[in-house]
Amino acid sequence: MKKSVLVISLLLFSSLISAHELAKDPLSSVQWSDMYRAFLKEYPAEFDDRVKVLAPDFAEDPMNVPITVDATALGKVKEIVIFADFNPIPLIAKYYPINAKPRLSFRFKIQQASPVRAAVLTEDNIWHVGGVWVNSAGGGCTVASTGRLVGDWSDYIGDTYGKRWSHADYNRIRFKIHHPMDTGLVTGIPDFYIEELEFSNAAGENLATILLYEPINENPVLSFDLQGSNLASPIRMVGDDNNGNEFEAEFVK
């Protein structure tokens, strides 16, 4: 009897997960269920208008598509996963706003017209998903970076320039890192990209972590907002790429 109850419970749990996985996609993408299984399957997901993905309707430059993800309406957030369904490498970035607002801006490469989504994990372990269609003439992921074509990328790799703006309850940080961000999809050029950026205050406390993947644009520019008790502290950034190169920077008021 207990075994039967256990089997029924497992089936019910499986049905709940399947219901989330197969929920009707407002963007009508045939890839949605695959994206869910690839990146989100550990927890149920629901589509949520409070997750804002701001991007152009048409990518005039498929190698530099601007995007802002804003999940501040959800309150406390554990993780944000950003991906494009039809990109050959769909995963774009992950953001852990430990002591920062759940809002992130950057640019990325798009290969063809695709839904671009942000899945936001809240403390109740539910993914809240928002997204938009971005149309494109394509080719953003299969073109060599400008630095590769010119040949001077190694002269500047890791150089970081940034600025910090003070607001009443948060500090905005915007910075640029010189890096070719190669996707590995161009013949003769292996993948070469920044993998991780960590931000900490003067006391060494981790404030935010950003994981980047191949579709992030060349020489990426990112911005995000720190909050809480860190508004007066110098903010240190350390990062590395998939070839073991390390770089760091400090942002002061």
Q: What pLDDT does residue 2 have?
A: 38
User: Two tokens at 173?
Assistant: 């940080």
Q: What pLDDT does residue 9 have?
A: 41
Q: What pLDDT does residue 14 have?
A: 45
pLDDT tens-digit profile, the chain (253 residues): 434 443 444 344 444 444 454 578 999 999 999 999 999 999 999 999 999 999 999 999 999 999 999 999 999 999 999 999 999 999 999 999 999 999 999 999 999 999 999 999 999 999 999 999 999 988 999 998 988 888 888 899 999 999 999 888 899 999 999 999 999 999 999 999 999 999 999 999 999 999 999 999 999 999 999 987 778 889 999 999 999 999 999 999 7
Q: What pLDDT does residue 138 have?
A: 83
pTM of the model: 0.90
Q: What pLDDT does residue 97 have?
A: 97
What is the fold of 43-251? Immunoglobulin-like (2.60.40)
Distances (CA, A) of 181 to 65, 136, 212, 215: 14, 20, 10, 8
If 0-12 CB within 10 Å is exposed, 13-18 middle and 19+ buried, where does residue 11 land?
Answer: exposed
